[in-house]
Amino acid sequence: MRTNKTIIFLGDGMADEPVAELGGKTPLQFANTPAMDSIARDGTNGTLLTLPKGFPTSSEVANMSVLGCDLETEYCGRGPLEAAGRGIPLGPDDTAFRLNLVTIENGILKDSAGGHLAQNDANNLIKLLNEKFGSDNIRFHPGVSYRNIMILKGKDFSPRVRAEKPDDNHRERLIDHLPSAIEPEAEHTAQLLRKIMTEATPILESSPTNKHLAAEGKPMANGIWLWSGGKAGSLKTIKEKYGITGAAISAVDVIIGLGRCLGMDVITVPGATGYIDTNYEGKADAAIEALKNHDFVFLHLEAIDEVSHEQNLKNKIRAIENFDSRIIGKVLAAFGKELNVAVLPDHPVPISTGKHTRTPVPVAARIAGKKPDCVQTFDEIACKQGILGSMKNGDLMNLLFRS
């Protein structure tokens, strides 16, 4: 096992495809990223397959891949991880689903993030859902903004439901993408999810919260989308797998929950929003402090993913450059070359579609004592020329902690 302190910088959704508006460059190639380029130049490079076939193209899968989880035996769905992120205990018969508060117009999914509504507005809408649909066996829990949770209690409910990701279905009719049972015993659960998703819109739309949002000219969060259900799983901790201590820094529940399930300390950063207005410097400061008493820090930035789903090219470049200068550059400046560093996205979100793809992502890893390869810049094209080649499964964590 390596003894050097190690940090992974994870830019959610940072990878992309060539954009004509950028002269055929990707946003990562076009952006000014001296800190990430220095990691590539001083380290070794390659790609990592984070979204293997047979699993959803979602962030919990991708980040589990990055952190060395065995998806075949440890994948439990997004719902339980988000519940862990909120500190909500799940019993053996509990099933947790992720719940997006979304914007619906004439039955069409307009925005899977519900206009990034303020926390108090989200809390009010979740309270209303509990009043209208809640019971001893059905409870709704607030998360961060549009990201929320529904928990079903009892053996009558099953996670074996096919439920599509909302951000894969922008501009599609909600009624065409309702959950369905994968096996007969899950039909009761699928029926309940369909009922709640179809009946929620008129209830939420007429709420005081959405009336004041509409009056202010803001998008209404007038619908819900339930997806990625599961039961509490059993993940091996990073202490068990790699003999290390770790800390996770993120604004979103799925990463916070994953960190907790992996036995990592979760560090809360005031002003971390999960969006482009997040507290970049606060995250950098938290990482610098955490490296003093942890072997490993996982620093996750959600902002790039969010603006990628919005297909906002200008903001994607801006978020990448903020990540580089206000987080990565600041952390690198606080340490010498003895700090082991890796940087990568968890998955691509091309601006052209605003949807996740399974394309392997670029990886740069600077490891003390390891000779650099020929790569000079960190991007989707250059990293393919590196000596790490095409990695998968737990290859990155093994490189950092076992090689």
Contact indicator for 365, 396 with CB cutoff of 8 Å: yes
CA-nearest of 67, 61, 69, 22 to 379 is 22
Taking only the tens place, the pLDDT of each residue in 258-297 is 999 999 999 999 999 999 999 999 999 999 999 999 999 9
Residues written for the chain: 403
CA angle, 42 as apex, 266 and 250 as ends, to 5°? 15
Beta-carbon count within 10 A of 302 CB: 26
Whether residues 253 and 200 share a domain: the answer is no
Domain end call among 199, 230, 261 = 230
Look at 1-15, 49-63, 140-154 and tell me which has the smallest mean pLDDT: 1-15
Residue 60: inside a domain: yes
Residue 255: inside a domain: yes
Whether residues 10 and 116 share a domain: the answer is no
Domain end call among 209, 230, 251 = 230
- Its pTM stands at 0.87
Residue 234 has pLDDT above 90, yes or no: no
Which residue range is the domain that position 165 belongs to?
83-230
Residue 1: inside a domain: no
Average pLDDT of the chain is 95
User: Distances in Å between the alpha carbon of 212 and those of 117, 127, 142, 370?
Assistant: 12, 17, 20, 58
User: For the domain that residue 255 is a member of, what is the CATH number?
Assistant: 3.40.720.10
Whether residues 166 and 240 share a domain: the answer is no
pLDDT of residue 118: 94
Whether residues 25 and 137 share a domain: the answer is no
Residue 383 has pLDDT above 50, yes or no: yes
Contact indicator for 185, 179 with CB cutoff of 8 Å: no
Domain end call among 178, 204, 230 = 230
Count of structural domains, the chain: 2
pLDDT of residue 76: 87
Whether residues 111 and 49 share a domain: the answer is no
Q: Distance between CA 45 and CA 313 in Å, rounded?
A: 26
Please report, as a single letter, which amino acid is at residue 127.
K
Q: Distance between CA 98 and CA 115 in Å, rounded?
A: 17
User: How many alpha carbons fall within 13 Å on the CB side of residue 359?
Assistant: 18
Whether residues 67 and 116 share a domain: the answer is no
What's the whole-number mean pLDDT along residues 99-127? 95
